[in-house]
Amino acid sequence: MATTLEYLEDMFRYEGNAKITGIGNDKDGRPALILDKTFFYPQGGGQACDVGIIEGEGLKFEVLSVIYVDGVVLHGGNVLVGLPEVGKPIKLTIDKARREYNSRLQSGGHLLLNAMKDAGQTLVATKGYHFPDGPYVEFSGSIPENEREALIPKLQMEVDRLVGLNLPVTWQLVPPEKLHEVCANVPANVPKDKPTRVVTIDAFSQPCGGTHVRSLGELKGMKIEKIKSKKGDTRISYSIPKA
């Protein structure tokens, strides 16, 4: 039975109830719980997974990895107390601080897309890496070396402007066949086996299944770090304070 992905519609819920529908193993061979629904974010879309705790009567399970496979979410980790049983109701609690930081990193990548557009750049984004160890967005096309250093302060000015306006981040579920009606650029790798969601910042919409902030003021301190072009692609790195 497919897992309902509750985080797609409610990204700010950190506790909730579900039911165990299956037991398997994650990619590292650890026990993994399959649930009827989850708001744990599975790794993907350039974003790290959530971690946390699953508890039930006589059960405590530490979630260390979350992956999406063929319609179900595997919550992998360690059994701390008891044994999981199919059909048992459980409570889910995710690590709030980790989720919130991952959400800032994901929204920061989208804010960079807005900054590029507002700075007059037309390169199309092809990849986002929103992990804490060096987030970046990659674009198809090169920026001449003599223009890169001048572009950094332009992008920073746009980032600071939009963060200062504290614009809302909005989202909606959109049928795959309708994506081109609401998004200027629809990547070829949009998953076909998940509900599709569109995230909008300042009237600029992008398909994204990741988690986000409520408004851009939460990205205060975001910094454009460097721009690098290689083999016809351009990578723009950024950073966001952890707290």
- Whichever domain contains 214, its CATH number is 3.30.980.10
Q: 62, 94, 126 — which closes off a domain?
A: 94
- Distance separating alpha carbons of residues 64 and 51, to the nearest angstrom: 5
| Residues 88/44/196/170 CA torsion (nearest 10 deg) | 100
| pLDDT at residue 118, as a whole number | 93
Whether 20 and 109 share a structural domain:
no
Collapsing DSSP to helix, strand or coil, 1 comes out as coil
Whether 124 and 108 share a structural domain:
yes
Whether 41 and 148 share a structural domain:
no
Whether 105 and 222 share a structural domain:
yes
Q: 47, 70, 94 — which closes off a domain?
A: 94
Whether 38 and 62 share a structural domain:
yes
| pLDDT at residue 187, as a whole number | 78
Whether 182 and 205 share a structural domain:
yes
Whether 44 and 161 share a structural domain:
no
Whether 82 and 104 share a structural domain:
no
Which string of DSSP letters, residue by residue, matches 28-45? TS-EEEEESEE-SPPSBT
Residue 215 is given by DSSP the state B
| pLDDT at residue 207, as a whole number | 92
The total of structural domains in the chain comes to 2
Whether 61 and 121 share a structural domain:
no
- CB–CB of 24/84 below 8 Å? no
Whether 11 and 44 share a structural domain:
yes
Which string of DSSP letters, residue by residue, matches 85-112? -TT-EEEEEE-HHHHHHHHHHHHHHHHH
Whether 54 and 165 share a structural domain:
no
Residues 6+ apart with CB under 8 A from 56: 20, 82, 84, 88, 89, 90, 91
Sign of CA dihedral 195, 43, 7, 79: positive
Give the structural domain span for 52.
Answer: 4-94
- CB–CB of 56/89 below 8 Å? yes
Q: 44, 63, 94 — which closes off a domain?
A: 94
Residue 182 is given by DSSP the state H
Is pTM beyond 0.75? Reply is yes
* Helix H or strand E encompassing 118: helix 96-118
Nearest to 46 by CA among 223, 191, 204, 213: 191
**Residue 132 backbone phi and psi in degrees, to 5:** -65, -20
| pLDDT at residue 191, as a whole number | 74
Q: Which residues of 204-232 are buried (b: 16+ CB within 10 A; e: fewer)?
A: bbbbbbbbbbebbebbeebebeebebeee
- Can you give the CATH number for the domain in which 53 is found? 2.40.30.130
Whether 103 and 210 share a structural domain:
yes
| pLDDT at residue 192, as a whole number | 74
Nearest to 167 by CA among 211, 208, 213: 213
pLDDT < 70 positions in the chain: none
